Every structure is written in C-alpha cells, then in structure tokens.
C-alpha cells in the first residue's frame, strides 16, 4: 500500500519535474529540475527494496553528476543564447510526432505485458545475506571483468578531461624577478608610481591632483572648503588654494 | 517500510528533531522581531557596494577537471561500500581485495596523471 | 552470510590479447605522467606497436598451440571463439596499420585546450607540443573494440561499447586543421553516440525484464520458456538494434557518419571506418544470432528494410558529395548495407557458417582498403591542410600517377571489380545471401554496387582525364608510416583479389564453429 502511494505521488512529482526540465528556459532551473527527478528516482528505488541503489543514486547522481552538470552550465557565458532557428524545416514537429509515437508504442507494449505478482528483491538477495552483500557477490565474481574494465572508462575520461580542458604550460612560468627584469629592459620607463606615492598630504581637506598635475575639482570636499574659507586657512600651494576658493564660490552662486 | 529501512528510524527521528529545533528557533526569531523592509534592505549585500550587473559568472573550463576528479572519487566510493560489507566474509578476503585494489589502482592512475600534469597545483 | 563466495575464474590465456592491449594503454598513461615531454613519443610509438602486434601473436598462439576455446571465458562474460579470434586479428591488423598513420604528428592539434586561432595555439605549435595521449587513447579504443566483438553478455557489451566509443569521441576533436569543424564533429558524435547508448541500455533493460538475465545464451534460452511478455522482448530487441545499427552507421541512423568522418583527423577516421565497423558487426552478429537467433522471424523483415535503405541511401548520396572524405563516409554506409545482407542470410548451421565466413572476409578486405584510401587522402594537400574538395583532385593522375593509380585501385576495390579483394568480399556475402533466400536483397545490393561504381569511376575519370588545376594541391612527401600503409593496403588488396584462397579458408574455419554460447 505504502509503495503504491509513494509511487503515485512521486510519479506526479518526477514527471512534472522532467517536463519542467525540458521546457524551462533557464539552464540552472533545468539542472535543479533534473535534481528533483533524480531524487524521486532514488526514493522509488528505496521503496522497491533497493536501498543501495537509492544511496548510489543520491551520492553519485544527485551529488557528483549534478555538480558536474552545474559546472558545465557555469562554463556557458551569460550572453550566450540558444539559436532557435531550425536548420531542417519542420524538424520540431516531426520530432514531436516521433516522440509521442514512441511513447505510445512503449506505453502500449509495456501495458500489454502480462506481469505476474511482484516477487520482491528481498527474496532474491536473502541467500547472500542482504541487498548489498548480494550485489558484492555479483560484482566480484560474475561481473568482475566488466567491473575492472569499467575502470578503463574512468581513465579515459580523466585523459579526455585533461586533454580538452587543461592547458599545459609550454614554457616555464616566469618568476617575479624575471617579470621585473623584463619590464626594466622593455625600453619604457619602468612602471609609473602608484597613486599617492608623491603625495605630501594625506588628508581629506587637500584637493587631489590629476595625473597631468591639474587639480581635480571633484575631489574638493565642499563642507571642509567652506570651513577653510571661514577660518582663512588655505594650503600653501596657490593652485590648491584657488581650487578651494573656486569651489566655495561656485556653491554660493 | 519495515525491515532494512526500519533500522534507520532512529536516525530519521533524530534528523527530524534537529530540523525542528533549528526551524523553531528561526521561526520564533521571525515572530519576535519587527520587520520593515525597504528596497535598499532587500538588495544583495556585497561588502557595502551596490551590486552591479548580473549574478551569473562564467567559470573557467579548467575547474571542470576538479569536478571530474570528484566524480571519480564518488564512483569508486560506491564500489567500496559493497566490498566493505563482504570483505570479512569467508572466501571473499584475498580475491576481492586484489580485485578491488586493481580497480582502485586503475582509477588512481587518472589522479596520478592529473597530478603530474600539475592540475592539482595552483598556477 | 549463508553461502560462501566462489572466487571467479579468469582464463588469462584466452584473454591475453585483450589484457595486453589494456595493459599497454595503462602503461601509456603512466608514460604520459612520468616521462619528459621530448621522450614521450619515442616510448609511446614502440609500446603501441609492440602491444598490437604482440596481441596478434598471442591470437596466433591461441589458435595454433592451445586451440580455439569452446566455452566462454571470465565467468561467461567474454566468448573467445573462432569468429571472435578472427575479428580480433582483423581489428589488431587494422589498428596497427592505422597507428602507422597516427604516428604522423601533423594530423593532430598541438594543444587541444588552446582556443582555435589563438596566440597560445601558435605558441604550442612553435614549441612543437603534441598530445601523445593519442596513443593510450587509441589503445583503449582498440581494447574496447576487441571486447565489444567478443562480449558474451549485454552488460559486458555495454561497458565495451563505452570503452570503445569514449576515446573515439575525444580523438575526433583533435584535428590540427579546421579545428572548429573537428570539434563540431566530436560533439555531434558524442551527443548522438550517447543517445544511441541510451537506446542500447533501455533495450537491455527491457530484455532483462523479459529474460531475467543479460547473458546472451540465457536470453536465447528464455525465448523458448517465457511467455506473455513478448512486447518487452520485441521493443527491447528494437532498441538494442538501434544502438548497434547506430554504431555501424546503418540507414536511418547514418546521419553522424559523413560529418564525423569529415571532421575527425584522417588517421582517426581510418581507424573508425575500419576497426569500429568490424567490432560493431561482431557485436551485432552476436546479439542477433546468439541471443535473438530464434527470433529471426521477427527481426528479419526489419533488417531487410534497414539493409535495403542503407545500401540505396549510401550509394545514392555518395553521388552528390563533393568532399572526398564525405564520399568515403557514404561509401562506408553503403558497405555497411552490403554486410547487413550477410547478417540476414541465416538458416541452418551450414548456411550460417557460410554467411559468417563471407562477412568475416568482407570485413577484413573492406577494412584494409579503407585504411589505404584514407592514407592516400592524407597525402594530397593544400595550403590549409588536406585538399578535401573533389575539384582539387582533378588531374591528379598527371601530377602524381602512382598515387592516383593506387587510389583508383582502392576505389575499384570498393566497387567490387574482379581481380580486387572487394570482388571476393562482395561475392562471398552475396552468394551466402542468395542461398539463404535473400535473393531480392542481393539484387538490390548488386544494383546499388553498380550505382556506387558509377561514382567511383567518375572520381577516377576526374583524376586521370581532366586537366590539372594550375594551383592544384601539392602531394606531400608521405612519411614512412603513410607510405607503408599505402603499400600494405595496396598489396593486400591485390593479393586478396588474385589469390584469396588461404584467407577465405581461414575465415571458413573461423566461422565453422559459429559463435559459442
């Protein structure tokens, strides 16, 4: 009974999530929908006496593979968008027809199958002492060769990821010393000093100088300038003093 | 749901209590504090600077390799679990040990390769 | 823990060729990890050849010293029987010949992670960087091919399918020139391949639902005992068929072939067009003859349709092509159709053995000729790489008579003209099909061969009887490897065309035991 209820609840959840995955415009939403589908599958496995498969579904798929998907999505820039131009005319229509026909075919075929009462997994795995040990027995004896060969798949994937995504340094990485040396020998003046290197004051009441030596009008603090004029307290530099006076006059207008 | 999952009932109950404590505290907090929202308060907080542009950042393809390595570890962990349950059983010991470590050795090869390619080093 | 564990028995002797290839691939990865860059190639190339030829020698030892095994190995996962051993030999020869082409670095991108056309790419090129990972990847692919053709249960077959395909997806994207095209080919192949794997997997699940086992012999037994679940079986068979027919590039599932063959680096195209086809036919035969052999009344009509469509589509679309690699791709589709005619020609054991022998011989001769043809394609070059467009091949016969002559000879072999190996290949398959009651198919096959021949002859005419363009392509001085490939392929095509007897007899012997169960 519990299994039936769980199935029907999850059927609705996972099918709607799958539809959302297909029809959602935003890639991240698609990924989250996929997460929901995977999660519902995990629960379905759990209900059907396959706790290990459920755990694997969550650890590997909802965890690791989803992470991989999200990374791939993040590789895609914000400004990229799908091209919705059909290169083959009527493609979408026929794809839809074929898809529905296929779904109907599979649905009918499986619906027509005469299925006996469910035997349950527990009976099959009892001899080995439970679900996980039963799996272990198969993996390490009957299917051991497939198990070992599967590792070739993982090595290939490692090689592939590295070849396609990792840029090996062709030449050694330049050290700080080499970079500095290159800059000094480049013929340009060695880098200009950073801002503030030649400043004689470090106060908010001093107007700032632009790189060409002129005064930045923006940097004059109006409130302090007014106090300066009131107290007749000006910087020694005539240029700066002028700027302060000017700022107060402008404000007065 | 008896049987296998029944043995986890305590874990589930504990988890539920944990969630209830945290959620209850947050709910109480919510009930007690005054809430007056302004548009400024609802902005994303980024060190006091107003957020500009989209929140979506494109990441470098080389980080893909790290996720891939994570997947490899996840996959071999999956095979380790069933192995761990039967390892001590009669007849399983040496044979499965060799089989498992052959598999792990092959997988480790991928990581050795990544390490030698200086994928794991900060560049 | 009620019952004790039975340690698995692995017949290392029978699996030695397979283990050698996989072992060499693993060592290749270690070399990539630890050898300094300038030494890698000089380790990888000998290692690859030694492993491929060593595996071939191990097959000879198996056949002539230990004898052909009569029971599946590795707990029933792998069937090392007569056909398997023959197919293994063919794959290993074809792979070794293709690797001769692969040793020419000029086909592969120096740094795959560099953006096409960027400064980094130029840097990498100037530094003489190269992806020597290509060699272990090829070895993994070859290992997958060997296993794919010899898998005795669907699970093993699926793992082998992936082990074979994954390196190939990757290798397709590594062409040095026209990189965007190459990368597109790789992505297309990957997406469609993953899709077809999905079909295969779903078919496998449905068949498991029917038979309660993934073992090929077990499925065959279940055909007689399980009742009331035919829909599962039929849909499962169809889906499994889709997955396998995709790999051989049969008609409704052929769309990937021209694009991928064109975009991939030509040596990899040669490997795919020969090795993958052979392996996929091995697997197809095993699934449809061993597991679903008693269901032939159900799958035969569909296979008829697929075979006819494949032959006709391949032959007709080849005519409209203007790119030499695309043309060879369509020709490969047509040849897959001819081979399917042999797959349909089942009957009693004697008939099956005849058909199987024909297919085995055809696979060998077609594979070798294909590798040779692609080797010629690598030598005819423009400023931007290989001169793909057919118009560039005009008058090649006057500029490079020997090369054009060899290529013309390969084309004639594709067409199945007498005195070439292709003739006996076609003859063996069509004769078996005619006695197997598939006469209409044979007629379609002969007609589409004629259509294809028309096109091959047109290329020959173009090469020999039209004026060379003033700025025609240059004929690159072939590297040692390429020259060797062209020579070997041409020699094999001649010898098997004039004196096919020993190899035919070998194929007969290999086929006589049929597939073990």
Kindly report the CATH number assigned to the domain that includes residue B44.
1.20.58.1610
Residue A27 confidence (pLDDT) above 90: no
Measured CA distances, C84 to B84, C340, C478 (Å) = 36, 18, 34
What does pLDDT average to over chain C?
A: 90
Mean pLDDT for the stretch of residues C388-407: 86
CB contact under 8 A, C5 and B61: no
Given A58, A75, A92, the domain boundary residue is: A75
Contact C25, C136 (CB under 8 A): yes
**What's residue C10's pLDDT?**
85
Q: How far, in Å, are A58, A75, A172, B29 from residue A62 at the CA level?
A: 5, 20, 40, 33
**Block residue for tokens 């594709």:** C414
Query: Does residue C236 contact residue C207 with C-beta atoms inside 8 Å?
Result: yes
Using the predicted structure, report yes or no on whether residue A186 has a pLDDT greater than 70: yes
For C300-307, the CB contacts below 8 A with 24+ separation are C300/C344, C300/C346, C302/C238, C302/C241, C303/C340, C303/C343, C303/C344, C304/C344, C304/C438, C304/C441, C306/C245, C306/C250, C306/C251, C306/C252, C306/C340, C307/C250, C307/C337, C307/C340, C307/C341, C307/C343, C307/C344, C307/C441, C307/C444
- The values of phi and psi at residue C264, to 5°, are -65, 155
Structural domains in chain B (count) = 1
| Mean pLDDT of all residues in C405-415 | 93
Residue A175 lies in a domain: no
CA of C171 vs chain B CAs: smallest distance (Å): 18
Q: Tell which wins on pLDDT, A50 or A192.
A: A50
Q: CA of A141, closest CA in chain C: separation in Å? A: 5
Please report which helix (H) or strand (E) contains residue C385, including its range. strand C385-386
CA distance A45 to A54: 5
Scored b (16 or more CB within 10 A) or e, C48-80 reads: bbebbebbbebbeebbeeeebbeebbbbbbbbb
Angle at C203 between CA C199 and CA C209, to 5 degrees: 150
Can you tell me the distance from the alpha carbon of C174 to that of C110, in angstroms, rounded to the nearest whole number? 9
A169 CB near a chain C CB, below 8 Å? no
Rounded mean pLDDT, C382-394: 81
Give the tens place of pLDDT for each residue, A102-128.
999 888 888 877 777 777 777 777 777
Q: Which are the contacts of A118, defined by CB distance < 8 A and separation ≥ 6?
A: none
- pLDDT surpassing 90 at residue C191: yes
Q: Which residues contact A32 (CB under 8 A, 6 or more apart)?
A: none
Percentage of residues of chain B with pLDDT beyond 70: 88
Considering only residues C326 and A216, tell me which one the structure prediction assigns the higher pLDDT: C326
C-alpha span between C413 and C291 (Å, rounded): 34
Q: Is residue B123 part of a domain?
A: no
User: Rounded to whole angstroms, how far apart are CA atoms A220 and A209?
Assistant: 10
Q: Name the residue in chain C with its Cα closest to that of A151.
A: C163
Interchain pair C33, B95: CB under 8 A: no
Contact C263, C109 (CB under 8 A): no
Do the domain assignments include residue B122?
no
Residue C171 reports pLDDT greater than 90: yes
Least confident of A89-103, A134-148, A225-239, C158-172: A225-239
Residue reference for tokens 């597991």:
C291
CA separation for the pair C125, A12 (Å, rounded): 55
Q: Is the pLDDT of residue C57 over 80?
A: yes
**Does residue A80 come out as left (phi exceeding 0), alpha (psi in the -120 to 50 range) or beta?**
beta
* Exposure b/e, A84-121, CB count within 10 A at least 16 = b: eeeeeeeeeeeeeeeeeeeeeeeeebeeebeeeeeeee
Q: Looking at the partner chain, which of A68, A137, A173 has a beta carbon nearest the beta carbon of B71? A: A68
Hey, which chains touch B, using 3+ CB pairs under 8 Å?
A: A, C
CB burial class (10 A; 0-12, 13-18, 19+) of residue A169? exposed
CB contacts, 8 Å: B3 with chain A:
122
**What value does the mean pLDDT take over residues A27-54?**
89
Instruction: Choose the mutation target among A68, A109, A128 for the interface with C, i.e. most C CBs under 10 Å.
Output: A109
Which domain, by its residues, includes A151?
Answer: 128-170
Helix (H) or strand (E) holding C381: strand C380-382
pLDDT at C443: 93
- Helix, strand or coil for residue B46? strand
Burial grade of C45 (CB within 10 A; 0-12, 13-18, 19 or more)? middle
B9-34 average pLDDT score? 94
Does residue A148 form part of some domain? yes
Average pLDDT (C138-153) is 95
Confidence check: pLDDT of B2 > 60:
no
What value does the mean pLDDT take over residues C453-480?
Answer: 83
Q: Roughly how many angstroms between the first and final C-alpha of chain B, as a whole number?
A: 52
Q: Is residue A150 part of a domain?
A: yes
Whether residues A158 and B106 touch (CB distance < 8 A) is answered with no
Closest CA to C203 of C152, C247, C237: C237
pLDDT at B1 over 50: no
Asked if pLDDT for residue C58 goes beyond 80, the answer is yes
Q: Which residues 193-232 on chain A approach chain B with CB closer than 8 angstroms? A: none
Q: How does pLDDT run across C222-237, given as a tens digit for each residue?
A: 988 887 778 889 999 9
Q: Do C174 and A110 touch (CB under 8 A)?
A: no
**C-alpha span between B31 and B25 (Å, rounded):** 10
pLDDT of residue C1: 43
How far does CA A74 lie from the centroid of its chain?
4
Q: What are phi and psi of C349, to 5 degrees?
A: -60, -40
Q: Give chain B positions within 8 Å (CB) of A173.
A: 123
At residue A16, does pLDDT exceed 90?
A: yes
Chain C residues close to A114, C-beta within 8 Å: 228-229
In a domain, A5, yes or no: yes
* Chain A contact set for B110 (CB, 8 A): 154-155, 157-159
Residues of C in contact with A105 (CB under 8 A): 235
pLDDT surpassing 50 at residue C2: no
Q: Do C1 and B90 touch (CB under 8 A)?
A: yes
Span of A136-140, C264-268, C325-329 with lowest mean pLDDT? A136-140
Whole-angstrom Cα distance, residue C27 to residue A68? 28
Residues ≥6 apart with Cβ < 8 Å to C491: none
Dig out the tokens for C72 from the structure: 């599946």
CA distance B30 to A18: 35
List strands edge to edge, sheet with C380-382: C385-386, C380-382, C474-475
Between C264 and A235, residue with greater pLDDT:
C264
Has residue B121 been placed in a domain? no
**Mean pLDDT computed over C44-73:** 92
Inter-chain touch C1–B106, beta carbons under 8 Å = no
How many other CB atoms are found less than 10 A from the CB of residue C504? 18
Pair type for strands C385-386 and C380-382: antiparallel
Inter-chain touch B109–C4, beta carbons under 8 Å = no
Co-location of A1 and A69 in the same domain? yes
Residue B11 lies in a domain: yes
CB C235 within 8 A of CB C243: no
Which chain B residues are Cβ-neighbours of A168 within 8 angstroms? 117-118
Average pLDDT estimate for A74-94: 74
Tokens of C91: 């794959």
Give per-residue burial for C287-320: e unless 16+ CB within 10 Å, then b. Answer: bbbbbbbebeeebbeebbebbbbbbbbbbebbee
For A94, the token pair is 């026929």
In a domain, A80, yes or no: no
pLDDT in the model for residue A117: 73
pLDDT of residue C87: 95
Using CA atoms, how far residue C396 sits from A231, C156, C256, C321, C405, in Å, is 96, 47, 29, 18, 9
Phi, psi values for residue B85, rounded to 5°: -75, -25
Residues in chain A: 253
Locate C179 and state its tokens. 């990189």
The reported pLDDT for the residue numbered A167 is: 79
Beta bridge partners of C108: C175
Share of chain A above pLDDT 90, in %: 19
Who has greater pLDDT, A119 or C65?
C65
Q: Subunits that touch chain C (at least 3 Cβ pairs < 8 angstroms)?
A: A, B
Distance of CA C25 to the CA centre of its chain: 19
What is d(CA C224, CA C320) in angstroms, rounded to the nearest whole number? Answer: 48
Q: Answer whether B106 touches C (CB < 8 Å).
A: yes
Domain coordinates in residue numbering, chain C: 12-512
Using CA atoms of A134, A137, A139, A142 in order, give the dihedral in degrees to the nearest 10.
-120
Backbone dihedral region of C115: left (phi > 0), alpha (psi from -120 to 50 degrees) or beta? beta
B12: tokens are 């589930």
Where in the sequence is the domain holding B85, given as residue range(s)?
Answer: 3-116
Does the CB of A157 have a partner CB in chain B at under 8 Å? yes
What is the tally of structural domains in chain A? 3
Check whether residue A65 and residue A7 sit in a common domain: yes
Flag the least confident range among A206-215, B22-31, C254-263, C489-498: A206-215
Separation CA C337–CA C220 (nearest Å): 26
């Amino acid at each position: 009974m519990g299994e039936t209820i769980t199935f029907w609840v999850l059927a609705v959840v996972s099918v709607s999530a799958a539809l959302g995955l297909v029809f959602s415009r935003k890639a991240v939403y698609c990924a989250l929908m996929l997460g929901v589908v995977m999660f519902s599958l995990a629960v379905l496995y759990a209900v059907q006496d396959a706790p290990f498969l459920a755990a694997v579904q969550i650890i590997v798929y909802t965890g690791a593979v989803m992470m991989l998907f999200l990374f791939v999505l993040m590789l895609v820039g914000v400004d990229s968008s799908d091209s919705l131009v059909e290169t083959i005319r009527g493609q979408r229509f026929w794809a839809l027809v074929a898809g529905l026909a296929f779904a109907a075919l599979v649905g009918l075929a499986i619906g027509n199958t005469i299925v006996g009462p469910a035997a349950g997994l527990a009976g099959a795995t009892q001899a080995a002492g439970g679900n996980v040990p039963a799996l272990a027995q198969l993996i390490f004896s009957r299917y051991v060769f497939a198990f070992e060969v599967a590792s070739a798949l993982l090595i290939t994937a490692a090689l592939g990821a590295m070849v396609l995504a990792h840029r090996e340094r062709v030449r050694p990485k330049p050290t700080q010393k080499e970079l500095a040396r290159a800059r000094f020998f480049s013929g340009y003046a060695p880098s200009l000093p950073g801002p503030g290197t030649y400043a004689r004051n470090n106060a908010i009441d001093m107007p700032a100088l632009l790189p060409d030596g002129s005064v930045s009008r923006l940097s004059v603090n109006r409130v302090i300038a007014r106090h300066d004029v009131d107290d007749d307290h000006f910087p020694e530099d005539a240029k700066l003093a002028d700027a302060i006076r000017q700022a107060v006059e402008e404000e007065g207008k | 749901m008896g049987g296998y999952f029944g043995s986890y009932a305590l874990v589930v109950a504990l988890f539920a209590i944990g969630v209830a404590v945290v959620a209850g505290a947050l709910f109480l907090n919510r009930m007690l504090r005054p809430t007056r929202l302004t548009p400024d308060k609802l902005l994303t907080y980024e060190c006091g600077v107003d957020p500009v542009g989209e929140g979506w950042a494109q990441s470098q393809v080389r980080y893909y390799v790290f996720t891939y390595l994570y997947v490899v570890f996840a996959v071999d962990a999956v095979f380790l679990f069933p192995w761990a349950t039967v390892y001590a059983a009669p007849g399983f010991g040496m044979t499965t040990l060799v089989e498992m470590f052959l598999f792990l050795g092959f997988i480790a090869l991928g990581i050795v390769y990544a390490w030698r390619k200086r994928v794991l080093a900060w560049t | 823990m009620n019952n004790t564990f039975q340690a698995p028995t692995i017949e290392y002797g029978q699996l030695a060729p397979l283990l050698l290839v996989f072992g060499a691939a693993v060592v290749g990865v270690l070399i990539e990890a630890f050898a300094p860059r300038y030494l890698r190639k000089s380790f990888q190339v000998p290692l690859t050849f030694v492993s491929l030829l060593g595996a071939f020698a191990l097959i000879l030892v198996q056949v002539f010293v230990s004898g052909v095994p009569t029971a599946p190995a590795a707990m029933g996962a792998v069937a090392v029987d007569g056909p398997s051993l023959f197919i293994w030999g063919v794959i290993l020869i074809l792979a070794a010949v293709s690797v001769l082409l692969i040793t020419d670095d000029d086909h592969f991108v120096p740094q795959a992670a560099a953006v096409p056309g960027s400064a980094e790419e130029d840097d990498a090129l100037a530094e003489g960087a190269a992806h020597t990972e290509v060699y272990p990847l090829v070895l993994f692919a070859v290992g997958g091919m060997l296993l794919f053709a010899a898998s005795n249960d669907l699970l093993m077959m699926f793992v082998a399918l992936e082990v074979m395909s994954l390196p190939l997806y990757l290798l397709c994207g590594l062409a040095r020139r026209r990189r965007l095209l190459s990368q597109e080919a790789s992505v297309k192949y990957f997406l469609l391949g993953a899709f077809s794997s999905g079909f295969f997997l779903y078919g496998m699940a449905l068949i498991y639902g029917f038979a309660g086992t993934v073992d090929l012999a077990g499925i065959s037994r279940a055909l007689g005992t399980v009742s009331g679940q035919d829909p599962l079986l039929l849909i499962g068979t169809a889906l499994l068929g889709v997955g396998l027919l995709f790999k051989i590039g049969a008609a409704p599932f052929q769309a990937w072939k021209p694009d991928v063959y064109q975009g991939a680096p030509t040596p990899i195209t040669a490997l795919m067009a020969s090795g993958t086809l052979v392996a996929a036919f091995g697997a197809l035969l095993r699934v449809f003859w061993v597991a679903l052999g008693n269901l032939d009344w159900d799958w035969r009509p569909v296979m008829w349709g697929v075979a006819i469509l494949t032959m006709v589509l391949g032959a007709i679309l080849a005519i409209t092509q203007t790119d030499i690699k695309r043309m060879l791709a369509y020709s490969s589709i047509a040849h897959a159709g001819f081979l399917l005619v042999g797959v349909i020609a089942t009957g009693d054991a004697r008939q099956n053995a005849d058909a199987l022998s024909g297919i085995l011989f055809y696979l060998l001769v077609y594979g070798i000729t294909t590798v040779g043809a692609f080797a010629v394609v690598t030598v005819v070059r423009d400023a931007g790489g290989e001169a793909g467009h057919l118009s560039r091949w005009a008058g090649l016969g006057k500029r490079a008579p020997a090369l054009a002559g060899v290529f013309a000879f390969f084309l004639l072999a594709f067409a199945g003209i007498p005195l070439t190996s292709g003739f006996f290949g076609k003859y063996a398959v069509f004769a078996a099909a005619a006695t197997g009651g598939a006469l209409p198919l044979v007629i379609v096959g002969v007609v589409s061969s004629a259509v294809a021949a028309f096109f091959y002859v047109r290329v020959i005419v173009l090469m020999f009887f039209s004026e060379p363009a003033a700025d025609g392509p240059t004929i690159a001085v072939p590297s040692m490897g390429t020259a060797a490939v062209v020579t070997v392929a041409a020699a094999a095509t001649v010898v098997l065309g004039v004196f096919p007897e020993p190899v035919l007899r070998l194929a007969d012997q290999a086929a006589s035991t049929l597939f073990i169960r």
